[in-house]
Chain A
Amino acid sequence: MSAPNAPLTDEKAAPRSNPFRSINLSTRFWVALVLVAFVVVLGMAGWVYPTGPGEKVGSLYDPPGDGLLFGTDNFGHDVVSVLMAGTRTSLIIGLVAGIVATTIGVAVGLVSGFVGGWLEELLMGVTNVVLAIPSIIVLILISISLPQSTIWSLAIVIGITAWPWTARAVRAQASSVATREHIDVARLSGSRLPSILLRDVLPYILSYTVMAFVLQVSGAILAEAALSMLGLGPSGANSLGTQLHWALAFQAVASGAWWAFLPPTIILTLVSFGFLLLQASLDEVFNPRLRRGKRRQMKQSAARRAEDARALAASRSEQDGDDAQDPESEAVPAAGRGIQEGGVA
């Protein structure tokens, strides 16, 4: 029995490293995780913080001091408490809007990319049109026309204006997956379209979807901040954007009340930076080409690959020696192809 047609089990016998070591969680991943975790904890801390965001503890822009870490805002509320509530609201809006946008985007992208034909043309046509309109304008128009602005309505509005780029990107991925053989197999075995999309296509682009979701969350938080700063934010709720809105309205910058506008600005920066960094580091995890783990790990895996190659070469030459008299062995296909065939068989 020749090596190319060897069962898969034999191939696995080659020395492999610990599977977790191949998920190279880089430093930037941990930094991103800490940032995001910090913001999430800040949002949660509002539940245990002694003063509520609506409690008047001082006057207009009291400076920090007297037990108030960041003084008071224009309503005389504790800035720390408002910041916690605002962070929570912004995170909720980000999550909900991210889920809405990713769901719509992935659904449109999957269907159009996989089904193709006139449906693809139609869906992508719509997507391109929506993509061409600056979403902030659509956002403002929808927000103005809403009878009542709550954090949920705002999140959904942001979600339904943010999906197009996800749809386009997912479509590209899905149409590439659609040409693979396992899809044919699934078709032959009688699977219906939804089942194929969910079981045979989606898993292949799931990593991409997760990264798109992370970007959508961060984009939605910033979109909320932009809308709220214009005064179109959720009424009766604190968010990082409304905090900035009131700071602007009451001229915190001109009156030197830095404590009213710096904390929400910094948190917003941390949130978007954290999420973007998380996305980038997840990209490295999912996409081996971008993997840039520790130098030592790189060397180890390089050494491992060299070892593998040497072992393979050694076994080959041994077999070649054995099969020297057999001319057919020269028609051996590439090793990879052999494995695949073996697997399918």
Chain B
Amino acid sequence: MSHLDSSQRILSGSTRRGFLAASGAAGGVLALAACGGKSGGGAGASDDLVGVGNNGMAGKGRSGDAADQLFIAGFQWSPPTNFNTFAAAPAWPASNNVAQYVYETLLRYDIVSGDLLPGLAAKYEVDGTSSITLTLQDGITWHDGTEFTADDVLYTFELGKIDESLGVASFWVEVDEVTADGSTISIAINKDRKNVGMVLATLAQQFVVPKAVFEKAAKETGNKLASWETKECMGTGPYTLEKADQTQIILARNEKYWGKDFYGGLPAPTKVIHPIFKSNEDGNLKFQNGELDVMQQFIPQISKMWDSGKPVGTYLQEEPYFVPGSMPMFVINTTKDGLKDPEVRRAMAHAVDYASIAETAMSGYSADVLASLIVPGGAEDQWLDKDKAKSDGWSYDPKKAEQILTDAGYAKGSDGIFAKDGVKLGPWKLITPQGWTDWNAALEIVAKSFTAVGISAATNFPQQAQVTTSIQNGDFDLACWSVAGSNPATPWQRFSDVMSNVEMVALGKTAYRNYGRWENDEVNDLLEAAAAAADDDSKKKALTALDDLFRKEVPAFPLMYRPDEFFEFNASNWSNWPTEKNDYAPPMFRGAGNQWIFKIQKIGG
């Protein structure tokens, strides 16, 4: 049962989490054990397949052409109009940091191990905090057959200078110079900022685009690349854009893919088809019926699907089913009276019923929340001091919350709301975008929790654009908002997002981090030290110091954990999906998530 091409792991040149031969066998045993279980929905237990549904079942496969096609969903919700990857809202798969089917990145991030795997670059070397050297793979070609060169890489980053409104422009904040010598690319890191992590994150997220195409586009648009519209996208990836209309996007396999040897063959599906749904429900229903193979959509209570005999699976077999990758943050506007007081913020952190949020709002997809800005259990686990987070942190304890407020001199008024010196705790508005259902529900629970301890709060869910503006401009009380998800730059980037006092922005102006306008004298030095830490020990120490400050001051607090991407598969037509027991690839689509598309196996036919 060797579904894993060992040569690929050697080629990848990094210490991937060991894949034991036994794990394949264990998968088989699991499938056998489930043999006597339920059956139905056209699915049957399968003892010779791994990476099948969590109930050990697999389908019989589709017939005809569809047997060789992969149906994917959850990335495109409107008719695709523009495949310019630098546009404000490009269509999948040209959109930023998604599966590397058409465009590819230099490095690929693995959300489980935290490793940076080779992509277009065969290897990378970091020289302390001064430079990064990349060596490109041999024989890479664009879809039109032209050769991929270091010039394309240089030009891709150069675009950040040509049009400073592009996202790639932020690369030049951390980098002084990029030079190429043959297939070797040297990146000189900004000497003042020394932030290797942020540079690596960009290398792992920025799609490399063809210079020939974008030079023309720059000329056409007068260097306003974001405004360029195109129906084509030409990359280096294993698929080409075949067709895109109102209802679907179809990618066809690139038979001349350069990575044939590197990935141990061509991808299994001949076509990747992304139907465009109007709502989650449509997609979820199709997924349940096996008409979709893999998707990234929120499904409440996904376990019901495999309990009812569908061959649906997730990476983890037990709750929380998904590998945590981000933490929706409860952002506090620290410029408001009452919320200025760290004791009030600490009381709030104690007041929230996190278990209820995880169990109901998140459908059980979140582990217990720790008082830390580091995501436990995934790639960031190594930086986390769990004991400290538990002993110095907070947990759901309404009595403690009231105690903290009483000790800080607050007293309940006749309306049951705490107040001190005429400053009442509330009424505050808790905002988050309408339709982000898990966050909406989480804030309902927070509002209830606050009211129960004597802090007046009510939810309000405007449209997303309005919430974004309110939060960026500091025009809010309390909000649930996202911060950096796991990537090569986290946890540092998350600390920076939540706490950074660099370039503090006044109320009413657009901020891109520290939305709560929390002010502190020490944090900038700590952030600098953590970014420039040369070795793992000093990095962990610096991150722990930041975490300590976070726990002392509570500028914000996490409400729950969330996977970076929901990775859900239905083994009706394809098996050998990545799971905990079959962990040849991480449960993701972006970054290293392109790996499984080469390894999944057709069941029927």
From residue 339 to 393 of chain B, which have CB atoms closer than 8 A to chain A? 353, 356, 359-361, 363-364
Most B CB within 10 A of own CB, among A54, A59, A235: A235
Scan residues 231-269 of chain A and give those whose CB is less than 8 A from a CB of chain B. Answer: 231, 235-236, 246, 249-251, 253-256
CB–CB A254/B460 < 8 A = no
CB distance from A117 to the nearest CB of B (A): 45
Query: Chain B residue with minimal CB distance to A256?
Result: B304
B364: A residues at CB distance < 8 A: 60
The stretch from B236-244, B432-440, B552-560 touching chain A is B432-440
B residues near A54, Cβ cutoff 8 Å: 448
* B434 and A231 form a contact (CB under 8 A): yes
| Separation of A312 and B177 alpha carbons in the complex (Å) | 115
A61 adjacent to chain B (CB < 8 Å): yes
**A236-B458, A251-B280 known; A59 and B448 CB under 8 Å?**
no
The reply to whether the CB of B461 lies closer than 8 angstroms to some CB of chain A is yes
Name the A residues within 8 Å of B441 (CB-CB).
74-75, 246, 249-250
Task: Judge whether B435 and A60 touch: CB under 8 Å.
Answer: no
B530 within 8 A of A: no
Q: Which residues in chain A, 92-121, are within 8 Å of chain B measured between CB atoms?
A: none
Compute how far the CA of A231 lies from the CA of B437 in the bound complex, rounded to whole angstroms.
Answer: 10
* Neighbouring A residues of B462 by C-beta, 8 Å: 144
A168 to B15, CA, bound (A): 79
Q: In the complex, what residue of chain B is closest to A72 when comparing beta carbons?
A: B360
Given contacts A75-B444, A253-B281, contact A231 B435 (CB under 8 A): yes
Contact residues of A: prevailing secondary structure: loop
B301 touches A61 (CB 8 A): yes
B447: which of A74, A76, A236, A255 is its contact (CB, 8 Å)? A236
Tell me whether A249 and B363 are in contact (CB under 8 A).
no
Say yes or no: is B533 at the interface (Cβ < 8 Å to chain A).
no
Measured CB to CB, the closest approach of chain A to B562, in angstroms, equals: 16
Produce 1/0 per residue, A147-175, CB < 8 A to B: 01100000000000000000000000000
A56 interfacial by beta-carbon distance below 8 Å: yes
Q: Mark B444-464, 1 if CB is under 8 A from A, else 0.
A: 110110010000001111110
User: Is B504 located at the chain interface by the 8 A CB criterion?
Assistant: no
Q: Tell me if B96 is interfacial: C-beta within 8 Å of chain A.
A: no
A253 proximity list for chain B (CB < 8 A): 281
**Contact between A235 and B363 (Cβ–Cβ < 8 Å)?**
no
* A76-B360, A235-B460, A236-B459 as given contacts; A60 in contact with B301, CB under 8 Å: yes
Rounded to whole angstroms, the CA-CA distance of A216 and B92 in the bound complex is 48
Q: Which of A59, A75, A256 contacts B445 (CB 8 A)?
A: A75
| B460 in contact with A60 (CB, 8 Å) | no
Q: Which residues of B contact A76 (CB under 8 A)?
A: 356, 359-360
Assess whether B88 is interfacial by the CB under 8 Å rule: no
**What is the interface residue range for chain B against chain A?**
20 to 34
Interchain CA distance A54-B452 in the complex, whole Å? 10
B residues less than 8 Å from A235 (CB atoms): 447, 458-460
Pick from B281, B360, B463: contact of A60, CB below 8 A.
B360
- Chain B residues lying within 8 Å of A148, measured Cβ to Cβ, are 427, 429, 458, 460
Given A60-B360, A75-B444, A75-B445, is A254 in contact with B429 using a C-beta cutoff of 8 Å? Answer: no
Contact present for A60 and B437 (CB under 8 Å) = no
8 Å CB contacts to B: which residues of A55-92?
A: 56, 59-61, 74-76
Per-position binary interface string of chain B over residues 272-315, scored 1 when its CB falls under 8 Å from any chain A CB and 0 otherwise: 00000000110011001000000000011100100000000000
* B281 near A251: Cβ-Cβ < 8 Å: yes
* Contact between A251 and B300, CB atoms less than 8 A apart: yes
A54 to B359, CA, bound (A): 16
Given contacts A144-B462, A255-B304, contact A249 B360 (CB under 8 A): no
B538 → A minimal CB distance (Å): 44
- Measured CB to CB, the nearest residue on chain A to B459 is A235
In Å, the complex CA distance between A75 and B440 comes to 11
Instruction: State how many angstroms separate the Cβ of B277 from the closest Cβ of chain A.
Output: 13
Least Cβ distance of B346 to chain A in Å?
24
Tell me the bound Cα distance from A59 to B359 in angstroms.
Answer: 7
Kindly report which residue of chain A lies nearest to residue B308, judged by CB atoms: A256
Q: How far is the CA of A151 from the CA of B439 in the complex (A)?
A: 22
Q: Mark A120-164, 1 if CB is under 8 A from B, else 0.
A: 000000000000000000000000100011000000000000000
Residue of A nearest to B355 (CB): A56
Residue of B nearest to A145 (CB): B462
Given A249-B440, A251-B284, residue A56 in contact with residue B356 (CB < 8 A): yes
What residues of chain A lie closer than 8 Å to B361, measured between beta carbons?
Answer: 74-75
> Which residue of A74, A254, A255 contacts B360 across the interface (Cβ within 8 Å)?
A74
Distance in angstroms between the alpha carbons of A246 and B353 in the assembled complex: 19
Find residues 201-254 in chain A having any chain B CB closer than 8 Å to their own CB.
231, 235-236, 246, 249-251, 253-254
| A255–B448 touching, CB < 8 Å | no
A236 to B359, CA, bound (A): 20
- Most chain B CB inside 10 Å of its own CB: which residue of A54, A60, A61: A60
Name, among B280, B359, B459, the residue most crowded by chain A CB atoms within 10 Å (CB to CB).
Answer: B359
- Indicate with 1 or 0, residue by residue over B540-573, a CB within 8 angstroms of chain A CB atoms: 0000000000000000000000000000000000
A145 to B280 Cα, complex, angstroms: 27
Instruction: List residues of chain B with CB within 8 A of the CB of A75.
Output: 356, 360-361, 441, 444-445
Q: Considering the chains assembled together, what is the distance between the CA atoms of A231 and B440 in angstroms?
A: 10
Contacts of A249 in B (CB 8 A): 435, 437, 440-441
How long is the Cα–Cα vector from A246 to B440 in the complex, in angstroms?
Answer: 10
Inter-subunit contact B458/A60 (CB<8 Å): no
Task: Name which residue of chain B comes closest to A73, CB basis.
Answer: B360
- Chain B proximity of A197: nearest CB distance (Å): 41
Contacts of B280 in A (CB 8 A): 251
Does the CB pair B460–A149 fall under 8 Å? yes
Q: How far is the CA of A60 from the CA of B441 in the complex (A)?
A: 12
Tell me the minimal C-beta distance from B476 to chain A in angstroms.
12
Residue of A nearest to B305 (CB): A255
**Complex contacts, A255 vs chain B, CB 8 Å:** 300-301, 304
Chain B contacts for A59, CB-based, 8 A: 359-360
Q: How distant is the Cα of A193 from the Cα of B177 in the complex, in angstroms?
A: 86
Within 8 A of A (CB), among B436-492: 437, 440-441, 444-445, 447-448, 451, 458-463
Question: Complex Cα distance A61/B434, Å?
Answer: 22
Most A CB contacts (10 A, CB to CB) among B281, B301, B435, B460 go to B301
> Which residues of chain A come closer than 8 Å to B285, judged between CB atoms?
254
A residues 280-305 with Cβ under 8 Å of B? none
Q: What is the bound-complex CA distance between A34 and B437, given in angstroms? A: 38
Minimum CB–CB distance for B453 against chain A, Å: 14
B388 to chain A, nearest CB (A): 30
Closest 7 CB pairs of A and B: A249-B437, A60-B360, A235-B458, A236-B458, A235-B459, A231-B434, A250-B300
List 22 A-B residue pairs with CB atoms under 8 Å apart, sorted by A's residue number.
Answer: A54-B448, A59-B360, A60-B359, A61-B300, A74-B360, A75-B361, A75-B444, A76-B359, A231-B434, A231-B440, A231-B461, A235-B447, A235-B459, A236-B444, A236-B451, A246-B441, A249-B435, A249-B437, A249-B441, A250-B441, A253-B281, A255-B300
Given A61-B300, A144-B462, A253-B281, 17 extra CB contacts under 8 A: A60-B360, A60-B364, A61-B301, A74-B441, A75-B361, A148-B427, A148-B460, A231-B434, A235-B459, A235-B460, A236-B448, A249-B437, A251-B299, A254-B281, A254-B284, A255-B300, A256-B304
